[in-house]
Structure 1
Amino acid sequence: MATKTRRTWLPDEHGAWAMLTVPFLAGTLLAPRPGWAHALLFAAWLLGYVAVFHGRQWLRLHARGLRSAARHALPAVVFGAAFAVAGVPLAVLHPWLVPAALLAAPFVAVNTYFAWRGRERALRNGLAAVVPACGMLLVAAHLGGLGPAGSWPGGVACLLYFAGTVPYVKTMIRERNSRAYRAGSAAYHAAALAVAALLSPWLAIPFAAYLTRALTLPGRALRPPAVGALELACSTALLVTLPLSL
């Protein structure tokens, strides 16, 4: 019963949780003065994501006249209220967080549109979700006293990695038989390796591994849990490397 309740209230999207967590933690680790405000912002960030997730699911199902939409209403309200409890004090203490949040609004709007149309697995939708998630590295770093000049390379590195996971995961699951997706994913990862190496030679190490997986794993009979576990390892490698390389 507890497991069923947890699945009802918490999104079962492992890739999303990694994308939400790694850039934020990387920005916190890069910051010279991390503090309690980071814990509160992290809570607000995750609570806001879950609230928006349920809101989108309600919109998607309600647009199709499905009664199952109702089960997302209460979680959306509860998590939305919890987000306000955590977020409002932060906005009062750090007013710059408000315009920073507004910068994410266009990408949230894109994701909401694709949810309404029932096309949440679209490539453009996935890429749109990556941008504000990686932008949280800059937000967390700034909250800890590190300006954009010092944090933007980390944000770019996160963007390079997580944007690459969108086509790569498709080559492993939904587009496993698409040669176009495989070629596009491989070309992207080769370009990402070149850019990452310019940011820092240390970053070339994990990005070389990302390119290797994009070249060798599509077409192999890996089940989704194995694909997810590998991406967890890859995102952890990025989190460990960033503070050492920037």
Structure 2
Amino acid sequence: MASRAVRRWLPNQHGAWAMLVVPFLAGMFLGGPTAWHALLLLAWLLGYLASYHAQQWLRLRRHSRNPRAARRHALPARVFALALLPPAAALVLHAPWLLLAGACAVPFLGVNYVYAWRNRERALANGIAAVLPACGMLPVALLMGGGDLGDAWRPTLACLLYFAGTVLYVKTMIRERGSAPYRWASTLWHLAAPAAAYALHLPGATVVFFGVCFLRAVWLPTRGAVRAPVIGAVEVVLSLALLGTLVAA
């Protein structure tokens, strides 16, 4: 019973959690951890949860024939939104520039709501729209720790290269398995990633990391059907490897 309640309140999306946490932690460690990071992470995760349930409510209210399907997301959306208010207010009072950072995320969030309203959440553009603000948390967390914004753009681009590539790769493993255009797009992206990392003067370990990502993007789709938990576990490991690479470098 308890596990069912947890599943209703917390989305079971391994890739989404990694995308939310890894850029944030990279920015925190690069800028220097502070007590404010704990509050910022709490607000970031609460905002995601509130938005997730609001989008599910919008999608199901329009497309589901079962009125209870949408209603079960209404309470979590309200609870998480209300829980977000105190930490968000404290953070804005401490660092008013966070309002500008939040405003930058609004257009991408709007794209997510439009795709939810259309019941096309799995669209490629919607996935990319979610990746961009998630990776944008790296410079936000770095600045919160007192780091210099000039130090943020390279690791932020590394996160963008990885997580945008993951959107393509996961398509080739699940919903677009067997699709030649998606396979080619994923292969070319992952082939370009190590070259881009080298051209951007990212550390050699990062170039090697993207080489490993290229091998998994080319090899795993040829192994036939792979269970979603296995795909998610591989991405969690790679996400942690990216975090370690960026922080160590």
TM-score between both structures, scaled by the size of structure 2: 0.96
Alignment of 1:231 with 2:235, yes or no, is yes
Q: Which residue of 1 aligns with 2:214?
A: 211
Alignment of 1:50 with 2:56, yes or no, is no
Correspondences of 1:69-218 after superposition (within 5 Å): 69-198=70-199, 199-218=202-221
Tell me by how many angstroms 1:151 deviates: 1.1
Q: Which amino acid aligns with 2:133?
A: P
Kept in 2: contact 1:10–1:50 (CA 8 A): yes
Give ranges in structure 2 of 5+ residues lacking alignment.
none
Tell me by how many angstroms 1:176 deviates: 1.0
How many correspondences in the alignment?
Answer: 244
Alignment of 1:21 with 2:37, yes or no, is no
Q: Deviations over 1:141-187 (max 9, x none)?
A: 00001122011111000000000000100101111111111111000
Tell me by how many angstroms 1:15 deviates: 0.6
Q: Give me the whole-angstrom Cα distance separating, in 1, the residues matched to 2:166 and 2:214.
A: 11
Give ranges in structure 1 of 5+ residues lacking alignment.
none
Q: Which amino acid aligns with 1:18?
A: A
Q: Which amino acid aligns with 2:145?
A: G
Q: Give me the whole-angstrom Cα distance separating, in 1, the residues matched to 2:148 and 2:183.
A: 37
Q: Give me the whole-angstrom Cα distance separating, in 1, the residues matched to 2:198 and 2:216.
A: 18
Q: Deviations over 1:94-150 (max 9, x none)?
A: 000001110000000001100010000000000110000000000000000112201
Q: Give me the whole-angstrom Cα distance separating, in 2, the residues matched to 1:23 and 1:4.
A: 29
Kept in 2: contact 1:176–1:219 (CA 8 A): no
Q: Deviations over 1:21-54 (max 9, x none)?
A: 00000000101x3211000000000000000000
Q: Which residue of 2 aligns with 1:39?
A: 38
Of 47-56 and 58-67, the range deviating more from structure 2: 58-67
Q: Give me the whole-angstrom Cα distance separating, in 2, the residues matched to 1:242 and 1:124.
A: 27
Q: Give me the whole-angstrom Cα distance separating, in 1, the residues matched to 2:226 and 2:70.
A: 33
Q: Give me the whole-angstrom Cα distance separating, in 2, the residues matched to 1:66 and 1:138.
A: 42
Q: Deviations over 1:70-109 (max 9, x none)?
A: 1111100100011111111000110000011100000000
RMSD of aligned residue pairs (Cα, Å): 0.9
Question: SS of 2:79's equivalent?
Answer: helix
Kept in 2: contact 1:19–1:162 (CA 8 A): yes
Of 190-199 and 225-234, the range deviating more from structure 2: 190-199
**Runs of 4+ in structure 1 displaced over 4 angstroms?**
none
Of 38-47 and 146-155, the range deviating more from structure 2: 146-155
TM-score between both structures, scaled by the size of structure 1: 0.97
Of 189-198 and 69-78, the range deviating more from structure 2: 189-198
